[in-house]
Chain A
Amino acid sequence: MNENRHEEYIDEFIDNLRNEQKPAFYRRQEQGKETEKDAELEKMFETVRAVKRIKKAWKYNTTAAFFRSRSFKGAVAAAAAILLVLGLNLFNLTGINDGNIVHAVVEAYEELHSYKGVVEIRSEREGETEFLETIEIKYQKPLQYSAFHIWNNSERHYLSDGEKLAIIGPTKITVDNLFPERELWRYHIGTAVWELEEAAEINVLGKEKIFERNTTVLEYRFPGDEDFHQMWIDESVNLPLRKVLNHPDGSSLTVEFKELEINPALEEDSFAWELPAGIEVEELNQAISLEEVKDGWPEVGQALAAAPADMELIQAGLLDEPFFDYVLRFRGESGKDFLDIYYTTTPNEPHFMAGGEQGTLDNDRVEVDEGVQNVFELYSGESNVARWIKSDAEIFIVSTRETFQLEKTLEEVAGSKINWEAVSAKTAQTEAGEYTLYYMEITDTSFRLEKEKRSFESPPEPQELVKALLQGPEKPELSRIIPEDTELLGVHVENAVAYVDFSSAIAEASYGSEAESVLVNSIVQTLTQLQEINAVQILVEGETVESLGGHISTFKPLP
């Protein structure tokens, strides 16, 4: 019953399970070395098992965690021994080398300093090619590249000197002064390597000869994702030659190197910044000094101090996009390790991202999410994000770092701790009888969430608020966003979650991501101003649905 002992037992038990080993505690028990038999301890063991069971779609042949396990060889030996006993080949043991392959690929990429080749990007649906692009590329680490893209009889030259990118077309040149990687990441070899590193599960499918090269074919899956993608690894250089990303809607995207030379001799001027004369140049985003950042972001010093100590500021910039004004870009040692801090004085909508965790920092809302795909369509693959939405400003962090570090960065900027318990920072001031209804305002360029005050004689029931949303706004400049023929089937509140059930019409309209965000937010924010409601679960015909329009997950209650 000694607590310290129990602490050790639990730690050992967790380690045993993660290594797929029989718990040492039971082994000792069987050998008579452990006399403690304690129902409470066993319940704690069972609790650990219960948590491990949550791990979805666990497959017992290969997972990333399994490769790390020390007992991996032992487990295979044990499986083999059982097969001998029964004389049967029950397990497919081809997965044995998968861990080694990932390791070999990562090492090979570390050894790579440049490459040269011809890439084809192809998107297909039901066997039909929808889009085809060919790219002739020369690349040098970390971020210099010169690539000629050809598609639909068009041609563009993408040239990056490592700091800025020029997109050179026949009549126009666009220079992006802040995000040189933006195009490269779509097909870069490093992207494929990082995908393998991040995969939750990898299986060897077999061998195949493509483009006169011997390859090992793998399938891989991202954490929390059901779909498998495929990758062909060139056996002579241990680097990916082709990958096929499969989308749940049945379409696929193939990226393949029809020609590839690793560490070739490149001409010295391969990436020289020479733009053709006589063509109009449009500048996008500006690299500026920290002093200039301070003009619009007086507290930038706090952000600089809060960034991880092992990262270096590589650029400060002024943005030309609608969501944010400034960015600070930090890089770690490895090519993919980054942390970018965005700032704006016009805060964006909450629930900009689906899912994630919410808390408050200095009474202002914090949202943190892991593994977000293609943030701003700029960060290829998965990134972690954190945002702090104040009344007069917003800070948004995108990074490869763990969400914990992102939270810490925000906390250091604020000089206080995030409060994860107080999830519901009530934004609307509810005076006696006056409540806010959220509708849509359509401007020339966007859909926006807009407020309309409404007086109620007594505190309204949740269904009254939703009905008011369905009836539409009083102000002529606002519109109702919930589709006309949608019916409210019911509202009930349980454990501070309002379950709002709509007829199927709400999910049948087609929404862009912006409109969907306004739709979801209009329902959620209208309801969460009620004291008894902290989150809203949207239902369609009594069921939870993945999403109303495909952009925002409505699978879980939204706070």
Chain B
Amino acid sequence: MKQAAASIQEELNLRAKEFWPRLYRFFYYKVQNKEEAEELTQETFHKVFRQTGNDNIEHDKIEAYLFTSARNLLTDLWRKRGRRPGSLSVEELREKGWDIPQQRQEVEERLMVQQALQELSHDYKKVLTYRIIEGWSVEEVAMKMGRKPGAVRSLQFRAVQALKTKLQEGGYFDE
């Protein structure tokens, strides 16, 4: 048993190069910042490392095990942050071939957000594009839009609110 656990760790080490980017990409998609994505990826590895010490999962299940851990980690995190756990079923990581449904879902989500964004007023669209997609600072956006920084801050807040409402109507936060 000790032997098996050790070699799972060995295999994890061996295949980390393969798993790391996939886990990282999964987390990055969810949290949208490098720092948290790295933290969560690392934590997943650590958790599996610790657990395989007294667990004898089969070698070919190691991938599923890793991704289940990743999903659980995210579920806990969302719950801690006040999101309904129910909103997680869409984030199901399939045990096999999870990349493809994942990608399809990503495309569908993106289309929905793009559509909702298109329906916003011109200024809302503009401020969200500048601030979030293009990544300009409030001061830079203020210059671009010919407004004061304070006005940009409240404009972006109202824009996020309006978009949230639209996404909500479209069932974005459901399930």
Name A's B-contacting residues (CB within 8 A). Answer: 3, 6-8, 10-11, 14-23, 26, 29, 37-39, 41-44, 46-55, 60, 65, 68, 71, 75, 78-79, 82, 85-88, 90, 357, 359, 402, 404-405, 408, 420-421
Contacts and interface: CB of A to CB of B under 8 A. Distances in A.
B109 A50 contact: yes
Chain A contact residues, majority secondary structure: helix
Contacts of A11: 138, 153, 156-157
Interface in B93-132: 106, 109-110, 113-114, 117, 121-122, 126, 128, 131-132
Contact of B167 (A22, A50, A88, A402): A50
Contacts of A29: 80-81
Contacts of B164: 43-44, 47
B35 A75 contact: yes
B16 interface: yes
Contact of B122 (A17, A21, A47, A420): A420
A79 B21 CA distance: 13
Given A47-B160, A53-B110, A18 B173 contact: no
B156 A39 contact: no
Interface in B28-81: 28-36, 38-39, 41-42, 45, 80-81
A16 B31 CA distance: 11
Interface in B116-175: 117, 121-122, 126, 128, 131-135, 137-138, 144-146, 153-154, 156-157, 160-161, 163-164, 167-168, 172-173
B83 A44 contact: no
Given A22-B39, A90-B17, 15 more contacts: A10-B157, A11-B138, A11-B156, A17-B132, A19-B33, A20-B33, A22-B35, A22-B36, A41-B82, A47-B164, A68-B135, A75-B35, A79-B38, A359-B122, A402-B144
Contacts, number: 141
A44 B32 contact: no
B160 A408 contact: no
A22 B33 contact: yes
Interface residues of B, number: 57
Contacts of A404: 126, 144-146
Contacts of B163: 47, 50-51
A14 B32 contact: no
A51 B81 contact: no
A228 to B, nearest CB: 20
Contact of B16 (A19, A41, A49, A90): A90
Most A CB within 10 A of own CB, among B34, B35, B106: B34
B113 A54 contact: yes
6 contacts: A11-B153, A17-B132, A42-B82, A51-B128, A65-B134, A90-B21
Contacts of B153: 7-8, 11
A50 B172 contact: yes
Contacts of B145: 404
A21 B21 contact: no
B38 A78 contact: yes
Contacts of A20: 33-35
B115 to A, nearest CB: 10
B157 A6 contact: yes
Contacts of B80: 29
Contacts of B122: 357, 359, 420-421
A359 B125 CA distance: 14
Contact of B121 (A26, A68, A402, A420): A420
B49 to A, nearest CB: 10
A434 B168 CA distance: 43
Contacts of A52: 32, 132-133
Nearest to A557: B118
B106 to A, nearest CB: 7
Q: State the 6 A-B residue pairs at the shortest beta-carbon distance, nearest first.
A: A420-B122, A65-B135, A20-B34, A37-B82, A18-B135, A22-B35
